[in-house]
Structure 1
């Protein structure tokens, strides 16, 4: 199973449904969810084919769940995914590169060693660490 974030500003729900119909797949857009960690735990691979990201929280959520992530090599995502260590970075406009990376990670022997790396890559973005860092910034500014 692949967990992913395929929505981009250029795609509407209707466009994605039409594309899925054209290529013969069943598309199920789940909408706003509060059970993302559980959904990610059901997957083997995370995919983020974004053409633009500020940070890409969904990628961090996938890493935290131990999912190797195949993602675009764009600003934001490259700040937390290391190519070949916890996933693969791809040209966002080259679907063949994404397909090859997905095929690679279909191999459990290649995917399994990445899981620990994924969890470590997500650690700096932990909510408690982030809150502490923000508090430190505010206290420093006030002093």
Structure 2
């Protein structure tokens, strides 16, 4: 999705309270991979500093990744509190949401032919085209 279209799409996603929509919104905001988001555990969320520490086991590079959570991402975390003792984004029939749940959320929100993983590319394009970060 062109990065210029992401904010409006994000607003549509986050307006829906389901765990899959919230997980999709969180994925967009954090530029995370689907599996990193769907496997997020409460033990990885640090209230002090508002950080998410993704462990090496779920990282493609096999290295812990520390993600600072801005106000919108933190609001999603707060919204999800109390739904599961272990997982931030619990599934209805399983412990965690599946990658397919995020794909379906994307489709239901009007994402057409776009893919969840593509938001990482949208983020990278934004960094290169609209900021001084490469």
| Fold similarity call, TM over 0.5 | no
Q: Structure 2 length normalisation: TM-score? A: 0.29
User: Rg: which structure is higher?
Assistant: 1
